[in-house]
């Protein structure tokens, strides 16, 4: 049988993503924050989930490899050049 504390932690886990995203009502947010203050286990969970999300954000900010960027630029240049020459013929 689950204890009341376990049930609270389970409910908190379900709300964690919305908490991280700032997607909770003020009342819900306060309740989650209060639980996190007194429950080290959920605090660890919240921190590590937040870290996972941040890691994904960093992946989106990563620079592309130089050779990939070079090829991308060359593709743009050749597209624009062929379009210009196509248009000047007509």
Q: Which residues bind Zn ion (CB under 5 A)?
A: 9, 39, 42
Q: What is the DSSP letter of 24?
A: S
Which residues ranging from 15 to 54 are in contact with other proteins (CB under 8 A)?
Answer: 16-18, 23, 48-49, 51-53
For residues 31 and 39, which CB has a smaller minimum distance to Zn ion in the complex? 39
Which helix (H) or strand (E) covers residue 33, if one does? Answer: helix 26-38
Q: Give the pair of three-digit tokens for residue 41.
A: 């286990």
Compute CA 69 distance to the chain's CA centroid, rounded to the nearest angstrom: 24
Q: Check residue 3 for interaction with other proteins (CB under 8 A).
A: no
Kindly tell me which residue out of 1, 2, 3, 14 binds other proteins, with binding defined by CB under 8 A.
Answer: 14
| Two tokens, residue 78 | 């050749």
């Amino acid at each position: 049988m689950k204890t009341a504390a376990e049930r609270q932690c389970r409910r908190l886990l379900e709300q964690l993503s919305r908490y991280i995203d700032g997607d909770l009502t003020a009342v819900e947010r306060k309740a989650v924050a209060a639980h996190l203050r007194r429950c080290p286990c959920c605090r660890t969970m919240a921190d590590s989930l937040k870290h996972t999300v941040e890691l994904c954000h960093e992946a989106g900010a990563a620079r592309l490899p130089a050779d990939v960027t070079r090829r991308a630029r060359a593709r743009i240049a050749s597209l624009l050049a062929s379009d210009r020459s196509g248009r000047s013929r007509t």
